[in-house]
């Protein structure tokens, strides 16, 4: 791997160093280490105590960008119904939570749930300036699973809609790459995105990954191992789009579903992961 001097900095992951905060940001994650006692300490590969624990969380910048996007969406849709707002916000929240579900992010997810509810409460207050607080809360918020502040449409409606909460996201513990495997074995998406070529990845897919800098063209988040990625026709075939390189882009499956609902396409996407591969513990392994 080449490192550009201008984009590289040595970061101490355990202690603050020369006014720089410990840890560093990488692909939207913040990685740092905490000193801990012997009962919670991490261990090296030989089982020896390390005296610290590594914590991987969404970076501050990434949290802020995500929250800004939610706020912008709420602002943009202020004249629309609650159902429209929920249908626009859910994929944004789901995508972000999915991306960060391997980080230790419970506290951050809870904070973002709270901030989002607060923003939606203000949205309701602004819409009904002559109504009381009780009226507004019972119009837009329901009690679901013991949570009084679930933003959801009325149960009487034909198709009730519930806003997804960050705090419902299950945290997936990351499983480390075992033993002496090279990153080249496991990280198909990473290496394809960097090089635009990979012995196991079909050439068109690898060059699309490189062109998109490893990110989904719909939600803008990085693809990660375990994601379901599909090829999408930018202009759908039903509208005369061709199956050719310049009309193709890679999307998360859930992003693809979302796009297909609105762009008039009908065909289901095809996963880009080669047939002889399957996912296991966050790694692509050959079947
Ligand atoms: Zn996406």
Contact 87, 73 (CB under 8 A): no
Q: How far is the CA of 171 from the centre of ligand 1 (A)?
A: 19
Dihedral pair phi/psi, residue 50, rounded to 5°: -95, -25
* Residue pair 215/223 in contact by the 8 Å Cβ criterion: yes
Residues with Cβ < 8 Å from 228, sequence gap 6 or more?
Answer: 252, 253, 254, 271
pLDDT at residue 137 tops 70: yes
- Give the distance (Å) from ligand 1 centre to CA of residue 57: 20
pLDDT of residue 280: 45
CA–centroid distance, residue 287 to ligand 1 (Å): 26
- Contact of 269 with 210, CB cutoff 8 Å: no
CA angle at residue 260 from 169 to 229, to 5 degrees? 55
Tell me the pLDDT tens digit for each residue of 197-230: 776 677 888 889 889 988 899 888 888 766 778 8
Residues 6+ apart with CB under 8 A from 284: 186, 187, 188, 225, 273, 277, 278
Q: What residues have their beta carbon closer than 5 A to ion ligand 1?
A: 216, 218-219, 252, 255
Q: Give 259 Cα–ligand 1 centroid separation in angstroms.
A: 10
Q: How far apart are CA 187 and CA 22, in angstroms?
A: 27
Q: Which of 35-44, 167-176, 204-213 has the lowest mean pLDDT?
A: 167-176
| pLDDT tens for each residue of 103-136 | 667 788 889 999 999 999 999 999 999 999 999 9
Please tell me the distance between residue 123's alpha carbon and the centre of ligand 1 in angstroms. Answer: 26
Bigger pLDDT: 182 or 12?
A: 12
Identify the helix (H) or strand (E) that includes residue 283.
strand 283-286
The span from the CA of 178 to the CA of 257, in Å, is 34
pLDDT in tens, 227-255: 778 888 888 888 888 888 899 999 888 88
Q: List the helix and strand counts (H, then E) for the chain.
A: 8, 9
Compare 128 and 176 and report the one with higher pLDDT.
Answer: 128
Give the Å distance between the CA of 127 and the centre of ligand 1. 31
Residue 286 tokens, joined: 């050959």
Chain segment 15-38, per-residue pLDDT in tens? 565 565 666 777 777 777 767 676
Phi/psi region, residue 8 (left: phi>0; alpha: psi -120 to 50; beta: rest), is beta
Closest alpha carbon to 209 in 224, 192, 226: 192
Indicate if the alpha-carbon torsion angle 100, 106, 111, 115 is positive or negative. positive
Q: How far is the CA of 221 from the centre of ligand 1 (A)?
A: 6
Separation of CA 223 and ligand 1 centre (Å):
8
Q: What is the pLDDT of residue 130?
A: 93
pLDDT of 151: 92
Give 56's strand partners: 31
More confident of the two residues 263 and 173: 263
Provide the residue ranges of all domains of the chain, joining segments of one domain with +.
12-58, 61-168, 183-286
């Amino acid at each position: 791997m080449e490192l550009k001097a201008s984009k590289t900095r040595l970061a101490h992951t355990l202690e603050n160093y020369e006014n720089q905060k410990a840890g560093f940001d990488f692909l939207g994650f913040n990685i740092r280490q905490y000193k801990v006692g012997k009962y919670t300490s991490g261990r090296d590969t030989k089982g020896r105590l390390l005296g610290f624990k590594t914590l991987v969380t969404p970076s501050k910048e990434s949290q802020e960008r995500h929250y800004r996007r939610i706020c912008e969406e709420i602002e943009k849709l202020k004249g629309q119904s609650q159902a429209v707002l929920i249908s626009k916000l859910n994929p944004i929240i789901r995508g972000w939570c999915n991306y960060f579900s391997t980080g230790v992010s419970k506290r951050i997810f809870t904070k973002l749930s709270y901030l989002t509810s607060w923003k939606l409460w203000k949205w309701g207050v602004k819409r009904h300036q002559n109504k009381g607080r009780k009226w507004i809360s019972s119009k837009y918020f329901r009690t679901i699973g013991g949570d009084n502040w679930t933003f959801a449409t009325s149960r009487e409606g034909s198709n009730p809609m519930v806003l997804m909460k960050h705090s419902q996201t299950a945290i997936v513990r990351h499983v480390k790459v075992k033993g002496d495997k090279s990153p080249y074995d496991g990280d198909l998406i990473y290496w394809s995105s960097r090089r635009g070529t990979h012995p196991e990845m079909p050439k068109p897919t690898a060059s699309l990954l490189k062109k998109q800098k490893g990110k989904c063209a719909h939600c803008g988040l990085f693809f990660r191992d375990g994601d379901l990625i599909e090829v999408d026709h930018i202009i759908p075939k039903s509208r005369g789009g061709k199956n050719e390189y310049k009309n193709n882009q890679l999307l998360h499956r859930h992003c693809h579903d979302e796009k297909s609902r609105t762009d008039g396409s009908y065909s289901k996407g095809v996963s880009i992961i080669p047939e002889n591969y399957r996912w296991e513990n966050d790694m692509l392994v050959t079947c």
